[in-house]
């Protein structure tokens, strides 16, 4: 009687462990799919792939410009902010180009190097842009990215999805997939050993 209870409990534990392993594998595959349709396309479309050193030539704050937060925005969503323009010299090619914060900055407003968040108030935006401009004037040389193919004649300060970020995004689903497979293998080994013991 006690032996039957132990066998039943063992089978229940193996079933639960197997379900856990299969669930982990399924979740990791969903995460792979999600990363594949969201992050990977942005990473592959970015042409600013080569890192070099940028030397600041000038950093000026122009008059306020109006910029919609996204395409097709209504009039009330258009907000004014001081336009910071940073021009740098690429040490790799010696070109004089305009610097943008990220790939998105160029799409939002190609006239300005920095586009603030719409949720910030005007005083915060002005103080932030002045701080950024003073930092550029203070730190004259810094790493940046440019397009080696020459499609884009400008540079960006940082990539939205760098190689390290992409690898980090794939790390968690990989660990989950490995853990799920390991659980499944251990359950199968346990079942095989139990069957072999019962047969003997």
For position 155, what pLDDT does the model report? 93
Pairwise CA distance, residues 41 & 21, whole Å: 30
Q: What is the helix (H) or strand (E) element at residue 23, kind and residue range?
A: helix 2-45
In a domain, 10, yes or no: no
User: Do 110 and 63 have their domain in common?
Assistant: yes
User: Do 65 and 151 have their domain in common?
Assistant: yes
User: For residue 1, what is the DSSP state?
Assistant: -
User: Do 54 and 29 have their domain in common?
Assistant: no
For position 26, what pLDDT does the model report? 94
Query: How much is the average pLDDT of 125-137?
Result: 88
8 CB-side CA count, 13 A: 5
Pairwise CA distance, residues 21 & 187, whole Å: 9
Q: Which domain holds residue 192?
A: 18-46+164-199
For position 179, what pLDDT does the model report? 93
DSSP E strand boundaries for the chain: 50-68, 78-90, 96-100, 141-146, 154-156
User: Do 65 and 124 have their domain in common?
Assistant: yes
162 CB-side CA count, 13 A: 11
The distance from CA 18 to its chain's CA centroid, rounded to whole angstroms, is 33
- Where would I find the H helices in 120-162? 122-138
In this predicted model, what pLDDT tens digit does every residue of 68-85 receive, in sequence order?
A: 444 444 444 566 788 899
For position 118, what pLDDT does the model report? 72
User: Do 42 and 110 have their domain in common?
Assistant: no
In a domain, 124, yes or no: yes
Smallest CA-to-CA distance from 88 within 156, 159, 160, 162 is with: 156
For position 9, what pLDDT does the model report? 55
User: Do 64 and 103 have their domain in common?
Assistant: yes
Average pLDDT, the chain: 83
In this predicted model, what pLDDT tens digit does every residue of 160-197 receive, in sequence order?
A: 888 888 888 899 999 999 999 999 999 888 888 877 77
Burial of 189 (0-12, 13-18, 19+ CB in 10 A): exposed
Query: How much is the average pLDDT of 105-109?
Result: 86
In a domain, 171, yes or no: yes
| 152 neighbors 96 (Cβ within 8 angstroms) | no
For position 127, what pLDDT does the model report? 87
| 108 neighbors 115 (Cβ within 8 angstroms) | yes
User: Do 55 and 113 have their domain in common?
Assistant: yes
For position 182, what pLDDT does the model report? 94
Residue 137 has pLDDT above 90, yes or no: no
For position 23, what pLDDT does the model report? 92
| 136 neighbors 145 (Cβ within 8 angstroms) | no
User: Do 194 and 128 have their domain in common?
Assistant: no
User: Do 116 and 61 have their domain in common?
Assistant: yes
Total domain count, the chain: 2
Residue 12 has pLDDT above 80, yes or no: no
More confident residue, 26 or 76: 26
User: Do 69 and 33 have their domain in common?
Assistant: no
Split at pLDDT 50, 70, 90, the class of 57 is very high
Of 99-108, 112-121, 142-151, which gets the smallest average pLDDT? 112-121
User: Do 70 and 40 have their domain in common?
Assistant: no
| 86 neighbors 155 (Cβ within 8 angstroms) | no
User: Do 183 and 112 have their domain in common?
Assistant: no
């Amino acid at each position: 009687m006690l032996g039957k209870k132990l066998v039943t409990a063992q089978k229940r534990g193996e079933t639960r462990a197997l379900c856990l392993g299969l669930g982990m594998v399924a979740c990791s595959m969903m995460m792979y799919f999600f990363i594949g349709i969201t992050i990977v396309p942005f990473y592959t479309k970015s042409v600013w792939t080569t890192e070099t050193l940028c030397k600041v030539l000038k950093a000026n704050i122009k008059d306020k410009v109006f910029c919609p937060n996204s395409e097709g925005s209504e009039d009330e969503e258009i907000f004014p902010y001081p336009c910071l323009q940073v021009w740098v010299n690429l040490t790799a090619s010696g070109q004089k180009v305009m610097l943008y914060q990220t790939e998105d900055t160029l799409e939002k407003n190609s006239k300005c190097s920095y586009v603030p968040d719409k949720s910030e108030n005007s005083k915060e935006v002005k103080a932030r842009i002045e701080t950024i401009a003073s930092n550029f004037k203070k730190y004259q040389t810094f790493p940046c990215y440019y397009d080696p193919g020459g499609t884009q004649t400008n540079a960006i300060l940082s990539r939205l999805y760098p190689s390290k970020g992409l690898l980090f995004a794939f790390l968690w689903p990989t660990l989950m997939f490995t853990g799920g497979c390991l659980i499944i293998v251990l359950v199968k080994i346990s079942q095989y050993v139990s069957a072999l013991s019962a047969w003997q």
